[in-house]
């Protein structure tokens, strides 16, 4: 089974998860700083393995999906992106490993992803799920709102 690449950017690709992503996913999902603004209920390896397995074959035709954000050069997992489609609304949520934060990766991803989604779903609205106290993500979304 080959990994599907959903989208390429200059430094990243958005792809389906693989089982070898588990250690990186577990590491950042259990980092206190990374989880500060997240509402994860379970970050155990067992749960994250099921999350990966559930999303092996998901694509943008599914109503709910989680994708890996990986460096294009090394294919290393650096974060994940949640996409939900419901009633003509696409909701996006994202997490980046603390080691890769503040390097412009989410800005780069959203710069490519939002127009891509609007092209595919031109009658949908797009919103981002951001914790009210997450100033960095709120600032990023305000920068991207006029795409």
**Where are the domains positioned within the chain?**
5-144
d(CA 129, CA 61): 20
Q: CATH assignment of 5-144?
A: 3.40.630.30
Residue-wise pLDDT tens digits, 39-80: 888 999 999 999 999 998 899 999 999 999 999 999 999 999
Backbone angles phi, psi at 116, to 5 degrees: -60, -45
Mean pLDDT score, 120-126? 94
Structure token digits, residue 63: 């109503």
Closest CA to 115 of 83, 146, 73: 146
The predicted model scores a pTM of 0.90
d(CA 29, CA 89): 26
pLDDT at 25 over 60: yes
d(CA 145, CA 141): 6
Please report the pLDDT score of residue 144 as a whole number: 57
Please report the pLDDT score of residue 34 as a whole number: 84
What mean pLDDT is reported for the chain?
A: 90
d(CA 97, CA 106): 11
The H or E element that residue 115 is part of is: helix 105-120
């Amino acid at each position: 089974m080959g990994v599907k690449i959903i989208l390429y950017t200059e430094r990243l690709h958005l792809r389906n998860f693989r089982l070898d992503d588990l250690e990186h996913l577990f590491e950042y999902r259990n980092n206190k700083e990374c989880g500060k603004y997240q509402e994860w209920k379970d970050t155990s390896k067992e749960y994250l393995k099921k999350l990966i397995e559930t999303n092996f074959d998901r694509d943008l035709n599914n109503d709910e999906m989680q994708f890996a954000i990986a460096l294009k050069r090394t294919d290393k997992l650096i974060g994940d992106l949640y996409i939900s489609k419901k009633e003509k609304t696409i909701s996006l949520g994202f997490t980046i490993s603390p080691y890769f934060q503040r390097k412009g990766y989410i800005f780069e991803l959203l710069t490519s992803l939002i127009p891509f989604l609007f092209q595919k779903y031109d009658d949908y609205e797009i919103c981002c799920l951001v914790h009210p106290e997450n100033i960095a993500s709120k600032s990023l979304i305000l920068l991207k709102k006029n795409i």
